[in-house]
Copies of this chain bind each other. A is one copy, B any other.
Amino acid sequence: MISFPPSFQKLIRELNRLPSIGEKSAVRLAYHLIQEEKGLADALASALVEAKKQVGLCSQCYFFAEGESCSICQNSSRDRSVICVVEKPMDMAAIERVGEFRGLYHVLHGLWAPLKGMGPESMKLQELISRVKNEQVSEVILATGSTVEGDATALYVARVLEEFGVRTTRLAQGMPKGGELEYADEVTLSRAFSGRNPLSQPQ
């Protein structure tokens, strides 16, 4: 194997630590940064340092924020009585792309996954509880993913919130748009059946 210079190897190793960047991609990225587009190495380094320094979490919903609150919590036109609970900041971005939900969010930064050693303390659950306690919240929408852990977390959070008299709801589960029956998995199909909606009712 050819030996790259030590500082080039170090760059490859660090790039290789990024998710979904394998060793070959890391080499290609390092080459691009060092040889093909030299300005980018400095720009990226300073963007990393700057973002690391500036970006924190919103003190209410735990989305990314520079300063105390994120842009959504600061927006006075949002409905503050509905909180949509998600696992990650990216989930929040996905919901905002749809552009229909007008309430606030709460990012758990984790899921309840006992098999991975992640208990309730690994997510921002106490913070959600104190929001429900102290603010005028009428509904908490549990928008964690439709995975085993997403479902378990939604059930767990719903149970914990029971005593505060708040309505909890879960995103509908069923066939995705464009989904063909032939290729749907059993769980999706079973949920689509049990959650079926009336189209017309005989008088």
Contact = CB atoms under 8 A, between A and B. Distances in A.
Most B CB contacts (10 A, CB to CB) among A8, A21, A53 go to A8
A154 B156 CA distance: 66
A43 B10 CA distance: 10
A52 to B, nearest CB: 5
A29 B33 contact: no
Nearest to A6: B66
A96 interface: yes
> Chain A contact residues (Cβ within 8 angstroms of B): what range?
35 or more
A122 interface: no
Interface stretch (A86-94, A157-165, A180-188, A194-202): A86-94
A32 interface: yes
A189 to B, nearest CB: 28
A199 to B, nearest CB: 34
Contacts of A166: none
A65 interface: yes
B35 A4 contact: no
Contact of A31 (B13, B33, B49, B88): B88
A108 interface: no
Interface of A: 1-8, 10-11, 13-15, 17-21, 25, 27-35, 37-38, 40-55, 64-66, 70-72, 88-90, 92-93, 96-97, 109
Given A4-B64, A10-B50, 10 more contacts: A5-B55, A8-B51, A8-B64, A14-B40, A14-B44, A18-B40, A31-B88, A35-B64, A44-B48, A45-B49
